[in-house]
Amino acid sequence: KIGGKTMGPRSEFECDMSRFSIDLSYNQLSGSIPASLGKLNFLQSLYLRYNLLNNSIPPSLGEISYLKELDVSNNQLSGSLPSTLGNLSFLYSLWLSSNNFTDLLPESYAKLKSLQQFSIAGNYLYGHFPNFITNWSTQLSFYTLSLSGNNFWGDISPDIFNIT
């Protein structure tokens, strides 16, 4: 409504919201990712790759119920990865590579049962090689699984090579 008058069919806008996507990739955007993005319940894809974004990923992104794709690769993001991303049951593509993330990979990511693409390459993550990644390999169909350039240690189960 503008000035109390309805301008155009509202139902047309509502239908478009079911496939809502934001792509701000390949810019020179800087600063933090706005926490208010977590209020966009119908957002399905968020692409912020190749910018100059810094600070951490706001935990509120884990509240975007229908998010299927999240790509924040090739920025200057840092800190711990938010465990709330493990709540994204529809997420099938998660690209966190080429940033400055530190700490352990959150165990909550074991709940990501729709993943087909997962990249955390080129960060400073560390710890024992996460067992849930081996479990993923027997439960999920991956196109991309990239963990290179971090500081994981320990034994790798032979089951990880059963990726379908």
pLDDT value at residue 18: 63
pLDDT value at residue 163: 59
pLDDT value at residue 164: 56
The answer to whether 26 and 3 have CB atoms below 8 angstroms apart is no
Mention every residue, 6+ apart, whose C-beta is less than 8 A from residue 155: 129
- Taking the C-alpha atoms of residue 84 and residue 57, their distance in angstroms, rounded to an integer, is 10
pLDDT value at residue 135: 84
Count other Cβ atoms within 10 Å, centred on residue 95.
21
The domains of the chain, with CATH numbers, are 21-161 (3.80.10.10)
- Taking the C-alpha atoms of residue 39 and residue 55, their distance in angstroms, rounded to an integer, is 20
pLDDT value at residue 158: 80
pLDDT in tens, the chain (164 residues): 344 444 444 444 444 556 799 999 999 999 999 999 999 999 999 999 999 999 999 999 999 999 999 999 999 999 999 999 999 999 999 999 999 999 999 999 999 999 999 999 999 999 999 888 888 877 888 889 999 999 999 988 787 777 55
